[in-house]
Structure 1
Amino acid sequence: MTVRVGILGATGYTALELLKILVRHPEVEVTALTTRQEDRPHLSAIHPQFHKVLDLHLENWGPQEVAERCDCVFGCLPHAASASVIPEFLEAGLKVVDLSADYRLNDPAVYTQWYGGDHPDAERMKTTLYGLPELFREGIAEAQLVANPGCYPTGVSLALAPLLKGGFIRPDGIIADCKSGVSGAGRTPKLGTLYPECNESFSAYGVGTHRHMPEIEQNLTVYSGKQASVIFTPHLVPMDRGILSTCYALPDQDASEKELRSLLEETYANEPFVRVRSDLPATKHVSGTNFCDITVRRVKDRVLTISAIDNLIKGASGAAVQNFNLMYGFAETTALL
């Protein structure tokens, strides 16, 4: 079975990583790449890595033209732009993995609060499956549309959700202190991510206003059944890729560090992309992979979890292919291990 695949918005870093994975996927043929540019650039002009690998042009095609060439599309468009076109793909019978934020939240009012403006497809967003398989696998195999998780929510949610569900930590007063490489800001040039601005510098950003905060709280609330409250502070680190998340929570049971780690090990025993470690994870250990490495510590009166992911793979494109594999009945690890 060969699935014809397209990528909407193929100029960015997530599209680059998607293509690296998809060209080695034995059941995929990449048949369409879109851009809002008018000059129809060749893929190798945008991503030189694909010179003599994939002979395609990026086209300024609409949904109908893409739908004629594809069975499934990955959406790498900005928020709002994605939800404005995805309904047309769904009506045409295509499957969609959306990497934007448009379908991650299940409350249109929360979307409006954090992203501004009304949601273009508000009724559908309420029921769209959230594609973090390790926590929310049920239903993905039958889904036509899956919302791919954000990068920060992936690392934080995988580390904390089992401890919350098991009643080992309190859902209130959680602090998520996270550090990301510069690629997390995207490929479009911005003053703060220019080399002279971010090199040899370390800074917080989006304090109290980052749009991943409601997504993190939603994940932890849905998975644990308890209303979660999280203070989330992201930081920019002068490295290309990777996210390290250190989370602090108050214990709700008197459990040892060994017992907490055993719970994580039991939860993720059959998950191919989560590795529970006794040592301390580092972004270098997961760079270029779809793994999330997690550990847990007891320090004074707090429970600490530390997780590491590659923000472009497990935090974006690798997770998207993981969802794609589930949607089409392929082995979940296909092209990812």
Structure 2
Amino acid sequence: MKRTKKRETKLPWEHPKLEDEEPKAIELINTIKNSPTYKLAIEDSEFLESNETRGIRLELDYLKAELEIAKHGIEHTIVVFGSARIMEHQTAMQKLKVIQEKLDKKPEDRELLREFYIAERMVGKSIYYEDARRFGRLVGESGKSADDCKVVVMTGGGPGIMEAANRGSYDVGAKTIGLNIHLPHEQFPNPYITPDLCFQFHYFAVRKMHFLNRAKALVVYPGGFGTFDELFETLTLMQTRKTQNMPVVLVGRSYWEKAIDFAFLQEEGVIAPEDLDIFKFADNADEAWEHVLSWHKEKGSPLFD
């Protein structure tokens, strides 16, 4: 851009009113300049955080991630959901050992007994961490090279199953996305997300839009409230035809059939028989990935040309 030649003569507004004309000129001008209304809108945090500018904040929350994801040439994502509490086997065993040592000293402590029971269950569920890591690896290896962004794993960016899926892609040098959410308490993204593809959102709704924007499959491991929320929102959008159909795979049939009695919902008439066709169960990462690939092949929309 051609630089404008600097003026030799100052313009009238480039200096304050003379004190000879108004003794309180500087004081009055400083009062004006210190008023919040004088701030540029982009620098006025109180204005930007007001109820009236929520629409603008929603747009910015969406746009920042959208521009970066597009810049990296990412075409499709495979979204992986699951519990943040499920940990890798070694960590789960160590936690169980710590609780066991406490329980040995207080064998009648009911709270410790409860913690021990949960820790044992978490050791069992650590198989899902390893499986989600394998799934992330399968997706990561599907590209032609480490820079191939045709299909990329996307998670919520946190620990547990999310970490495992990101980690699997990280293991093979593939790019991987994490969508964190800003919460009242401190949190950290898992370390396996591609740095330039880790985003933090203020609004859950905008984050959910990004989960589905480029999604070509949803793979869901055992989880709690957050996992159920994301799963059922996606199922509802597909049921009501508000989003494109895609393969939805629930990994861990024994967990899901106990956690949610889908057959009961059908029997009660609150969902239709065809609604049970929206998703499929799988027992492991290989089954889940095979279903994703075959689903798209059958629909004439192969993930890879």
TM-score when normalising by structure 2:
0.35
* Structure index of larger Rg: 2
Structure having the higher strand fraction is 1
Higher helix share: 2
